[in-house]
Amino acid sequence: MNIKNFFDSLIPEQIEEGNRLQLEENLRVYEEFKAAYKIGNCSLCTQPLKEFESNKPCFHWFLRPQGIKKKHFQKYLSTPIGFFRFDSYMRWIANLETPFKKINDLKSQMNPAKVIEYTIKYKNIEWSINIGRTDRIGYANTKNANFPHFHLQMKIDNNIFIKFNDFHIHFQKKIFLTSEQWKKFLRK
């Protein structure tokens, strides 16, 4: 059975149960995130938010822990990262300070050449993330961007720390469950 047929075969109760379980999991993870943040730790790597280890990259690096330099991001951002996990982390961070006010993702202010474009602020840091139409497949005939990627700009105190063209950040390969794994998940 292919995945489309599997999803088409789900009855509304199975879909509702899957959604309910996912929502419960999301709430649990968010509460862990807030609890760790409250004591100054990262919920992902458990390190203090103000510190970093160069051989243990983590999303909390984007909070610019003490001593981190742009060069530390070179290796980290040259390997695929999960865009949706990254996006969630940044939005969660911004919402800790002031819910909804620190995220500008209005479609009316988006460049029409972009598929995704938004800005997130937290304290003195601002991240701008974008994915252009050609970024989704990569730039043919180039060495450093011939793969699906996104772009990030990071400002600290209105000074650019990471420029959009510094890194072409690989999307992490999608991981799909087999139909048997989905069935097992839905039976829980």
What is the rounded distance in angstroms from the CA atom of residue 78 to the CA atom of residue 147?
A: 12
Which of 136, 129, 119 is CA-nearest to residue 171? 136
As a whole number of angstroms, the distance between CA 86 and CA 101 comes to: 19
Q: Summarize pLDDT for 112-132 with one digit per residue, the tens.
A: 889 899 999 999 999 999 998
Q: Structure tokens of 163?
A: 């420029």
Instruction: Read off the pLDDT of residues 72-83 as tens digits, 9 standing for 90 and up.
Output: 998 888 888 888
- Cross-strand pairs, 104: 119
Residues 118, 88 contacting (CB under 8 angstroms): no
* pLDDT tens for each residue of 3-59: 778 878 888 898 899 889 999 999 999 999 999 999 999 999 999 999 999 999 999
Number of neighbours of residue 25 by Cβ within 10 angstroms: 10
Q: Where are the alpha helices (H) located in the chain, listed in sequence order?
A: 3-9, 12-38, 70-76, 83-97, 179-187
Q: Is the dihedral of CA 8, 12, 14, 19 positive or negative?
A: positive
pLDDT per residue as tens digits for the range 136-186:
888 888 877 888 889 999 999 999 999 999 998 988 765 444 555 545 544
Cβ–Cβ under 8 Å, residues 125 and 148: no
> How many CA atoms, within 13 angstroms, populate the side-chain half-sphere of residue 149?
20
Q: At 13, list the tokens.
A: 């109760």
Contact 154, 62 (CB under 8 A): yes
The predicted pLDDT at position 188 comes to: 42
Instruction: Select from 79, 90, 144 the least CA-distant residue to 121.
Output: 90
Q: Which residues contact 188 (CB under 8 A, 6 or more apart)?
A: 21
